[in-house]
Structure 1
Amino acid sequence: MEVLPALLFIAIQFILLFLYPLQPAMSRPHNNFTDLESLLAFKASVADPHGLLATNWTANASFCSWNGVRCSHRRQRVVALKLSNFFLGGSISPHIANLSFLSRLDLSDNALTGPIPSAIGRLPRLALFNLSYNSLSGPIPLSIFNMSSLVKVSYNHLTGSITPNFARSSQLQVLSLSFNKFGGSIPPELGNISGLNILYLRENQLTGTIPASIGKLSKLNRLDLSGNYLQGVIPEELGNLLDVQYLGLLKNSLTGSIPMALLNASKISYLLLAGNNLTGSIPATLGVSWPQLEILDIHTNQLTGRLDFINSLSNCMNLQYLLLGKNKISDFLPDSLGNLSTSLNYLGLASNYIKGRIPSTIGNLSGLICLYLGKNELVGEIPSEFSRMKGLQGMFLNRNGLSGYIPPELGVMTGLNTLILEENALSGTIPHSLDNISGLQILSLAANGLFSSIPDSLWSLSGLLVLDLSGNTLDGSLPQQMGNLKFLDRLDLSKNRFSGNISSVLGNLQMITYLDLSKNSFDGEIPSSLDRLVINVQYMNLSYNRISCTIPKSFTNLGKLYSLDLSFNKLQGPIPEGGVFSNSSIVSLQGNPALCGALKLGFSPCPPPSNSKSNLHLLKYILPPIVLVVLLLSCFCTRLIFLRWGKKLKLPSEDASLNTIRVISYRELVRATNNFNEANLVGRGSFSSVFKAYLDDGLITAVKVMNSENQSALRSFDAEYCALSKIRHRNLVRIISMCSNLDFKALVLQFMPNGSLEQWLHSHNYYLNLLQRINIMVDVSLAFEYLHHYHPHVVVHRDLKPSNVLLDENMTAHVSDFGISKLFLGDSQSILSATAPGTLGYMAPEYGSTGKVSRKGDVYSFGILLLETFTRKKPTDAMFDGELSLRQWVIRAYASAVLEIVDPDLLKESVDIQREPSSPIIIGQCLSSLIELGLSCSRDSPQKRIQMRDVVPKLQKIKNDFLSKSPRS
């Protein structure tokens, strides 16, 4: 009997021993269920407009395989939740705090709102906490700082103060609170976080002083307190930060001098102190103390003293930016300026009290991109040694006392795109050699003592955007060659001695926004061609000349004008009614006693017309209808006669006559393409092949031959011919002819010698600078504005992409390939298409989901094209898989790091005309605006996209803002 209990005991022990290893597994369902519940609660609390969670976070798969979820291998518990850039909205569920094994939480780059749940602070293993780039509000739960080593909540709307409790965590290595609304002072207790590597508090509302205790953070590598309301001096204790490489204190209200103790922080490579009220001199030995210095930006302060520190900067072999403008430095430029690093890109000394001559050694700075010496007291001649700086793109020497001639040697600086020499004492003539600088975009020689006529060679600079020659003693008349400057945005020839008629060729400058010809001796009439400036012109000044005529009635159509000055001429007759003339605040007409009408402008009423004039006036209205009826009867009779004799008379349509489509035979096309030789092949697609052709009359064209075996290609031919034969615009490819029979169909098109935007963006030996890209996008937007809003019938292109944007000899963009376009009749806003139109990556989402074709689809494609143009990334790039698109990638970086995703080559140039040492800032602002517009155009919802008629003024404003700090600013 005793044996049985013993056997039973052994059996139980055996069973327990067998089950022991399974205990964790048996408990797993309960623990996993907690994680599952937490994830589902999080999913329920957020908005998921793209369905990235809805289609993946389902019961069909283990939550450990869900997007953004990572589990531990042994316990299968959630250890990381990374949902960055998932376009999530809504709020963060407090149930996320039940993920008790969570160590990494990254919800950055979304649109989350509401507060940060305080329960998250209960997560004992949380090490990484990143909620940057959302719209979260309220305070940060202090409990989060108990365990995390990395806390990033920058770019939100968080409020409250940075309390001493933030310093609880001895593990904290990264604290990024930038771009929020934190107020109060910086607590000295932050200096107790001994392991802190990065401290970002930029762009908040912090007040008070910089705590000296920050100097105790011996491991600190990057410190940025810029863009607050901090006062007081820079603590000497910051010199104890022996590992700090980045020190940003710009845009505060700091006072005092640059502390000498700061020179002890020998690893500094970026020192940003601009935009404060610092005084005193710049330490003479800073270059010896900071040998790794790359950027020294201390412009816009009250610094005084001498430039002897430049001698020590020759020790900084990696120096790229030296920005000292807008201070009170008073000294002569030393010869040692030429000993600075050849990697120096930006040298800014503008708006100081620097005097004497420019040393010839400046020519040694072979890597210089922009030179800012404007608004100083420099004298003497411009050194011819400038010509040795082959890479110089911007030269700003304005508002000095420079004298002598403009060196003809400047003509060898072929990379120059901005030359500002205004407000000096230069004399002589404008050198002919400037025409060698074919890429010159901004030229201001205003307010000097230049004389003689403008050299004809200057008008060959077809890429000029700004030309300011005002305030000299130049003479002569305006030549026809002026019409070459088709991209000109600003023309100022005022205060000279020009004479003769105002050339009608000015009407060709349709990109112009600012025109000033005042205070010359122009006579004759105002050319009627000026009404062609209606698209863009905002400022027009023809005052103080000898113009004698009536004011063209077409001036009432200049709807964008904010200032029209025709005063002190010899104008006569009635003042046009309406338009700009109805607003006395923007029109100036005084000094023209023979004008009448416009009582609101203070002029007398016009005398009533005589009887003879009344009869003529009446005849003007009666005669045209009579002539029209006679012509219609003649046409009808002529057609009747031809039909009677069995001959068909095809009257040309309005569209056909407009485009003057000529007849070209198949035989001529064979000759023109050398029997469609491969050597003449320009490009080939699934629908067609394009050949370069030399017609019998010498005209060079592009012949687009359709693939006759492809029915879609034949439909494409019909659609493209239908579209192109009915439209004409300077930014659309023009059809010259067509050739069609049973076996052969071809379009003869305007040839574009500079290829496509695709080539210029994605070929290693092509490059477009920033303004060229902006101009191209303006051209494309104008084309689509016309197609969508100004053509009698709405035309939807449906396949906008870089390969369909072609560039002519002047780099003017022309939209091509209307093979799948749709013509909407009447008031139709959209239609349904049986096929998904367009190209993957550029095609609007609704094309694939609903098949609905509308103008908003073109807007989406334009937005993607805009992003591609300035990032130089294709939407079909390998990096953009199913979970990440070009647009998503841009959104991720837009708010904080837009300069990290744009084409890096754009950051190497400087085409701004601010003449102060902030070119990188201006370029950054411009690119940020362009990226923002691209994102606005490419929204997923068609209803939220803007119209092309709104895109055009936005693009033009971006361009004008980029050029707004022009020679007058």
Structure 2
Amino acid sequence: MLSISLNPLNITIPETIGNFSGSLKSFYARQSQIRRQIPMGIGSLKNLTLLDLSYNKLSGNLPSTLGGLEELQRLYLGDNNIGGNIPEELCQLIKLGELFLSNNKISGSIPNCIGNLNLLQKLNLSYNKLTSSIPLSVWNLENLLFLDLSSNSLGKSLSPNMRTLRVIEYVNLSHNQITGNVPSIIGAFESLENLDLSKNSFQGHIPDSFGQLKGLDQLNLSNNNLSGAIPKSLEALRYLKYLNLSFNKLSGEIPSSGPFANFKAESFLGNEALCGNSIFGVPPCTSPSSKEARVKQLLLRYIIPSIASFIIFAILVIMLRRHPQYNMQIPSSLFTLPTVDQRMISCHEVCRGTNSFCESNLLGIGGFGAVYKRILSDGTTVAVKVLNLHLEGTFKSFDAECKVLRAFRHRNLVKVISECSSPEFKALVLQYMSNYSLEKWLYSHNYYLNLVQRVGIMVDVASALDYLHNGQLECVVHCDLKPSNILLDEDMVAHVGNFGIAKILVENKDATQTKTIGTIGYIAPEYGSEGRVSIKCDIYSYGIILLEMITRKKPTDEMFVGELSMWQWIASIPDKMKVMDDGLLKIEDGRDVTIMQTILLSILELGLRCSKELPDERLDIKDVVAKVNNIKLALLGNRNKGV
């Protein structure tokens, strides 16, 4: 065995690697800053069973000589800059059990001969540039447990002639261009725990056979063109904890039994024809016989009076405008309508429900006001952000937050339920977060986050930033990302909030100038010194938060004085395990110590790369999302193996 992992070597692998002893079986060189191409000579290591070159700076193409590693069982080349195609010679590795090529720049198609790898258990080709369709032979890998082909450009439809994979546990085909129907044969994957087909172009119905996936824990079919009703058979999925069917064309009644009793409106957003329980954010269902009566009732109660009121109002406006002595400004708030998923809540109800904003209901104080807990008349608990109108910039902050939160919808962004605005009072009614903020969990003595929870929060926040930066036509920069603005719901899912100083970058513009400055310690150097705002400012803040979560030290800690910053402190210590939060060093039973240390160091390295001083040296959010998801998979894999 040769292990040189986790060293800043900054070297290339020499062509003479092939001269190593024929008895070499394991070669570990993970995260060692290895550059350039994998040499052709590596194919001479005939007895090699494990090759790990992941998390390096490898480039060039995959050498065809890899096919000569006839004893190879595990090949890890993820998180590099490898390009070119997947050589068909890899199909000669008939003993291969795990193949990880994720987060590279590999293009072309998945070779059809991959079906020859009969012993393959884990296949990860995610975050590449693969095109064409998924070959039918992939579904012949009867020992496959884990399949991730997400974030590529794979197209066409899935073959209805797929074989039944009875042992597979994880399938992720999200972020591709796959069309056609969802094959019902997937319902026969009896061991499946996680299925993600989101962000494709699937159409047709959700297969009724999905009700047979008895062990399913997570199902994501969002952002497709699926139609028809949600199958009642899904009520039988007793272990289903996460469901996302949002942004499709589904219709009919949402089931209410089984796991559906625990789901909320977020699972069904963007399906205009759904109906059912009000907790799902949809209208109640009506029987066909009462449809005509319902239409008449709507006409009489709402539509006709509204039209009449508008006509009368328009006549009054015209008359007033014709008489200058009575000319006046019509408040724009008269035309303000609630946005999708919002409620109309009067200022009176907001004030009355918080006992005039007494201290016992105070949740926190921010730069432009305070946040209070509030229970509405229907029993719903919300958070009310009351703006301090005496502070300079309050009105601008209110407008910015309304614009961002009203327009965007994402699982990891705090939702705005309503807004209350008058000359004397401005407030936002927001989604209530019962587990408060990340800052409270990091620094309160009676709270503790384990590594799985911390990594989950890292993934949630990265997902929110990806949506803000890339999910809409207009890019949004948060500008004040910090632990106190990362809020946790009852399931410990993280939501990014407080968009009071957020900036919207218009199309074709990658930066803007501002005089508004975020929080010291989290703001990027170019933002603090020049007021220059770009998406790389959020990446910097995210990197600082990663370092803070893993060291449990604030960037403003008293130890960081003069020229010594958190980044410099971490970078200067050779043994990086010494900077870790002591609570994370207590390895749980059943976990591999070496793997856990590798995961912790991966998080630390990611934080350092995100918080580089120069913006161009920081990672893109797409790369960040890929890396934190890989970290999460590695962590969960370590837990599941129980070694």
User: Could you tell me the TM-score, scaled by structure 2's length?
Assistant: 0.51
Q: Taking CA–CA contacts closer than 8 Å with sequence separation of 6 or more, which of the two structures ends up with the larger relative contact order?
A: 2
Does the CA contact (< 8 Å) of 2:387 and 2:398 recur in 1? yes
Residue 737 of structure 1, CA deviation: 1.2
* Equivalent AA in structure 1 for residue 533 of structure 2: V
Match of 2:637 in 1: 964
Residue 834 of structure 1: how far off its partner (Å): 2.5
Show the counterpart of 2:584: 906
With over 3 angstroms needed to count, the CA separation of the structure-2 counterparts of 1:903 and 1:934, relative to structure 1, is same
Shift of 1:670: 2.1
1:143-197 Cα deviation digits (max 9, x unpaired): xxxxxxxxxxx966799xxxxxxxxxxxxxxxxxxxx99xxxxxxxxxxxxxxxx
Match of 2:108? Answer: none
The aligned amino acid for 1:878 is E
Paired residue for 1:781, among 452, 459, 462? Answer: 462
Alignment check: 8 A CA contact 2:338 2:418 kept: no
Q: For the residues of structure 2 that align with 1:534 and 1:922, how far apart are their CA atoms?
A: 34
The answer on 1:645 being equivalent to 2:315 is yes
Distance 1:955 1:689, change over 3 A: same
Instruction: Please state whether the residue corresponding to 2:633 is helix, strand or coil.
Output: helix
Q: Secondary structure of the equivalent of 1:702?
A: strand
Distance of 1:555 and 1:741 partners within structure 2: 38
Q: Is the 8 A contact 1:769 1:909 kept in 2?
A: no
Aligned twin of 1:925: 598
> Using the alignment, how far apart are the partners of 1:701 and 1:781 within structure 2?
25
> How many angstroms does 1:661 deviate by?
2.3
Q: Structure 1 regions of 5+ residues with no counterpart? A: 1-153, 160-179, 182-204, 208-226, 229-274, 276-469, 472-491, 497-514, 523-528, 536-540, 548-553, 559-633, 914-918
Partner of residue 944, structure 1: 617
Task: State the partner residue of 1:769.
Answer: 450
Alpha-carbon separation, structure 1, partners of 2:10 and 2:503: 45
Match of 1:890 among 570, 578, 587: 570
Q: Measured at CA, do residues 795 and 544 of structure 1 come closer, stay the same or move farther in structure 2, by a change above 3 Å? A: closer
Q: How far, CA to CA, are the matches of 2:223 and 2:526 in structure 1?
A: 42
CA distance in 1, matches of 2:223, 2:419: 41
Once the two structures are superposed, residues 112-152 of structure 1 have per-residue CA deviations (whole angstroms, 9 ceiling, x without a partner) of xxxxxxxxxxxxxxxxxxxxxxxxxxxxxxxxxxxxxxxxx
Aligned to 2:25: none
Equivalent residue letter for 1:839? T
Pairing 1:667–2:348 present: yes
Instruction: Report if aligned partners of 1:659, 1:728 keep a CA contact under 8 Å in 2.
Output: no
- The one-letter amino acid of 1:948's match is I
Q: Alpha-carbon deviation of 1:666? A: 2.2
* Residue identity in the other structure for 1:735: V
Q: Distance in 2 between matches of 1:910 and 1:816?
A: 32
Match of 1:185 in 2: none
Indicate the residue corresponding to 1:955 in structure 2: 628
CA distance in 2 between counterparts of 1:779 and 1:723 reads: 18
The alignment partner of 2:476 has SS state of: strand
Cα distance 1:546–1:959, how it changes in 2: closer, same or farther (>3 A)?
A: closer
Q: Distance in 1 between matches of 2:224 and 2:501?
A: 35
Distance change >3 Å, CA 682–CA 555, structure 1 → 2: closer
Change (3 A) 1:838 1:696: same
- SS of the aligned residue for 2:383 comes to strand
Instruction: For residue 675 of structure 1, give the secondary structure of its aligned residue in structure 2.
Output: coil
Tell me, yes or no, if the aligned pair for 1:519 and 1:543 is still in contact at 8 Å: no
**Equivalent position amino acid for 1:772 in 2:** Q
Q: Identity rate of aligned residues, in percent? A: 43
Question: Alpha-carbon deviation of 1:805?
Answer: 0.2
Answer yes or no: is 1:877 the counterpart of 2:557.
yes
User: 1:704 is matched with which residue?
Assistant: 385
2 CA distance for matches of 1:544 and 1:749?
35
Question: Is residue 2:413 matched to residue 1:743?
Answer: no
Per-residue CA distance 1:363-399 (angstroms, 9 max, x = gap): xxxxxxxxxxxxxxxxxxxxxxxxxxxxxxxxxxxxx
CA separation in 2, counterparts of 1:206 and 1:943? 39
Partner of 2:520: 840
Q: How does 1:807-846 map onto structure 2 within 5 Å?
A: 807-835=488-516, 837-846=517-526
TM-score by length of 1: 0.35
Is this contact kept in 2: 1:797–1:858, CA < 8 A? yes
Please state if 1:518 is matched with 2:188. Answer: yes
The residue that corresponds to 2:608 in the other structure is 935
- Higher gyration radius (CA): 1
- Pick from 667, 683, 695 the counterpart of residue 364 of structure 2: 683
Q: Distance in 1 between matches of 2:187 and 2:165?
A: 5
How far apart are the structure 2 equivalents of 1:730 and 1:886? Answer: 31
**How far did 1:796 drift?**
0.7
Q: Secondary structure of 2:606's partner?
A: helix
* Amino acid in structure 2 at the alignment position of 1:906: L
SS in 1 for 2:370: strand
Alpha-carbon distance in 1 for matches of 2:470, 2:334? 25
Instruction: Provide the rounded CA distance (Å) in 2 between the counterparts of 1:850 and 1:958.
Output: 34
Amino acid at match of 1:645: I
Separation (CA, whole Å) in 1 of partners of 2:166 and 2:338: 41
Partners of 2:198 and 2:222 within 8 A in 1:
no
Give 1:961's aligned amino acid. Answer: A
Separation in structure 1 between the aligned mates of residue 211 and residue 438 of structure 2, nearest angstrom: 44
What is the match of residue 795 of structure 1?
A: 476
**CA contact under 8 A between 1:871 and 1:903: conserved in structure 2?**
yes
C-alpha contact (below 8 Å) 1:871/1:901 kept by paired residues: yes
Query: Is the contact between residue 907 and residue 920 of structure 1 (CA under 8 Å) also seen in structure 2?
Result: no
Structure 2 gaps of 5+ residues are 1-6, 22-27, 30-49, 51-141, 144-163, 169-184, 202-206, 214-220, 226-303, 318-329
Q: Distance in 1 between matches of 2:223 and 2:358?
A: 54
The secondary structure found in structure 2 opposite 1:682 is: strand
Alpha-carbon offset, residue 885 of structure 1: 0.7
| Structure 1 residue 958 displacement after superposition | 1.3
Are the aligned partners of 2:198 and 2:224 in contact in 1 as well (CA < 8 Å)?
no
Q: How big is the shift at 1:686?
A: 3.7
Root-mean-square deviation (CA, aligned residues, Å) is 4.6
Q: Do the aligned partners of 1:738 and 1:748 also contact (CA within 8 Å) in 2?
A: yes
Deviation of residue 657 (structure 1)?
6.5
- In the alignment, the residues of structure 1 paired with residue 576 and residue 191 of structure 2 have an alpha-carbon distance, to the nearest angstrom, of 49
